[in-house]
Each structure stands twice: as structure tokens, then as C-alpha cells.
């Protein structure tokens, strides 16, 4: 389960990585601190294909509200920060977005929580930051596979997204049973192709040594959504 991540890079720097496939800002770039953790219901940097096939960069809400939801945003209680890979083609919440609206979410690390020895429900968990050793300078930024949707809610139109997750690999299996699908740029461009490999091209059960885990202080103030996710 992915419940926090970091993008410790300016979005303009990240867009320059798409050297052979131009990306343009489709709305106003966000002003949030780029080294702050991104949490469920926050706005996050999203790259997707528009109606003409061009890649555009936008900021959208992390925690997907599906198109069929017509009530207030706060009334959508289903946990949709993550989209399990094995449900992408079968879930009424996910399948339409998977078939038509895929996206990439750039990141430089993600956060996982683990239960210390003797942990009991209601007690604090330990917080770990997962990073990787870049293969080259551009590889310091990688991309979550994501899907997005647009809902005409009672609060107005809302575009939002979910991050695709699957079974945990060797590095994270002792902490949680799932992990996000994290892609290189080349893999990410394949994910965006609706006629491409889709979920068959995603790997979450990564081998040992893919990620380095460093324990980080647990934040004292946690949102209601983050507490629900733990």
C-alpha cells in the first residue's frame, strides 16, 4: 500500500527528461514545496496523454473518485489512493479508467509503514523511505503507473488519480503485502500506450536489492485519510 511519496525535484527539471516526447503544462504549475511528502487527497504532479495524443503535465488530486459518483467528494469513502493491479480489469471503480485514462506520477522515493516487534492495533508504526540507486542522472526520478478519472460531483467537476499496486517484492515483504508499480521513463511511456502491454508490463514483486530502506521520523500530525490508510 502506497500512502506517501516524495518528488524532490522541480517539475520543470523533470519535464526535460522527456527529450524525444515533448510535454507541456496544461494548467498552472503548483506552488507547493517540492520536497514535502505527498499524501492522499493532496494535489500531485501528473503526466498523461491528451485527446490529440500529446503529453501534458497537470496537478490532480491523489485519491480517485470514479466518474459514476455524483454526490459530494466527502461522501466517497472507498479507499482509492491505490488501484490493485489484479482488479484493474474487473473492478467497476477501476476498469474504465484503466482502459482509457492512464498516467505517470513522478517520484524520487516512497514511504512505507511497518509494524515493530510486539506491535498492537492502535500503536504507532515505524516509517521507512524506499529509494533506489539511479542507473544514470535521469534515473533519480521514476514514475508510478497510475490511472485517473473525472467525476461530476455535487462539489463540481473533479479529476483525480490512483496509483497501481501489486504484490510486495523481497525488500518490502516484511513490512507490507503490496507495493507500487515504479517505472523507468521508457517503461512509463509504454504504460501510457493504451494499445501497449498495460498491466502485463508492470512488475511489483521486485528482487532483493531493488530498494534501500531508511527509517524516517514518524510525523506527529497525520490527516484522517492517512490514518485510515495505515
User: What pLDDT sits at residue 219?
Assistant: 58
Q: Is 105 exposed, middle or buried (0-12, 13-18, 19+ CB in 10 A)?
A: buried
Over residues 108-112, mean pLDDT: 94
| 72: Cβ contacts below 8 Å, ≥ 6 apart | 153, 154, 155
pLDDT at 15 over 60: no
Mean local confidence (pLDDT), 195-221:
87
Between strands 109-114 and 4-6, the pairing is antiparallel
- Secondary element (H or E) of residue 212: strand 212-216
Q: Tens digit of pLDDT for each residue in 56-76?
A: 989 999 999 999 999 999 999
Q: Is the pLDDT of residue 111 over 70?
A: yes
pTM for the full predicted model: 0.88
Q: 197: which 3 cell numbers?
A: 502491454
Question: What is the reported pLDDT for 47?
Answer: 93
Span 106-115, average pLDDT: 88
Do 1 and 40 meet the contact criterion of CB atoms below 8 Å apart?
A: no
Average pLDDT of 178-186?
94
- At residue 47's C-alpha, the angle toward residues 90 and 177, to 5°, is 45
Write out pLDDT tens, residues 128-144. Answer: 999 999 998 888 889 99
In whole numbers, what is the pLDDT of the chain averaged over residues? 86
Residue 6's pLDDT is what? 93
**Among 122, 183, 144, 179, which Cα is nearest to 64's?**
144
Contacts of 117 (CB under 8 A, 6+ apart): none
Amino acid at each position: 500500500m502506497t500512502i506517501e511519496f516524495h518528488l524532490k525535484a522541480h517539475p520543470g527539471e523533470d519535464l526535460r527528461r522527456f527529450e524525444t516526447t515533448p510535454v507541456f503544462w496544461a494548467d498552472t504549475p503548483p506552488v507547493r514545496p517540492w520536497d514535502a511528502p505527498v499524501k492522499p487527497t493532496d494535489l500531485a504532479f501528473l503526466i498523461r496523454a491528451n485527446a490529440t495524443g500529446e503529453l501534458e503535465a497537470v496537478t490532480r488530486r491523489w485519491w480517485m473518485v470514479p466518474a459514476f459518483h455524483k454526490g459530494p467528494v466527502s461522501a466517497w469513502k472507498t479507499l482509492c489512493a491505490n488501484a490493485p493491479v489484479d482488479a484493474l480489469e474487473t473492478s467497476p471503480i477501476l476498469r474504465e479508467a484503466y482502459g482509457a485514462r492512464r498516467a505517470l506520477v513522478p517520484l524520487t522515493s516512497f514511504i512505507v509503514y511497518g509494524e515493530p516487534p510486539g506491535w498492537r492495533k492502535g500503536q504507532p508504526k515505524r516509517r521507512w523511505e524506499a529509494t533506489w540507486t539511479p542507473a544514470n542522472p535521469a534515473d533519480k526520478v521514476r514514475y508510478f503507473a497510475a490511472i485517473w478519472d473525472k467525476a461530476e460531483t455535487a462539489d463540481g467537476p473533479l479529476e483525480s488519480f490512483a496509483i497501481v499496486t501489486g504484490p510486495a517484492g523481497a525488500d518490502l515483504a516484511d513490512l507490507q503485502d503490496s507495493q507500487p508499480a515504479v517505472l523507468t521513463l521508457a517503461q512509463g511511456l509504454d504504460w501510457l500506450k493504451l494499445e501497449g502491454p498495460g498491466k502485463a508490463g508492470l512488475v511489483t514483486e521486485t528482487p532483493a536489492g531493488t530498494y534501500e530502506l531508511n527509517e524516517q521520523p514518524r510525523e506527529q500530525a497525520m490527516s484522517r485519510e492517512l490514518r485510515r490508510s495505515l
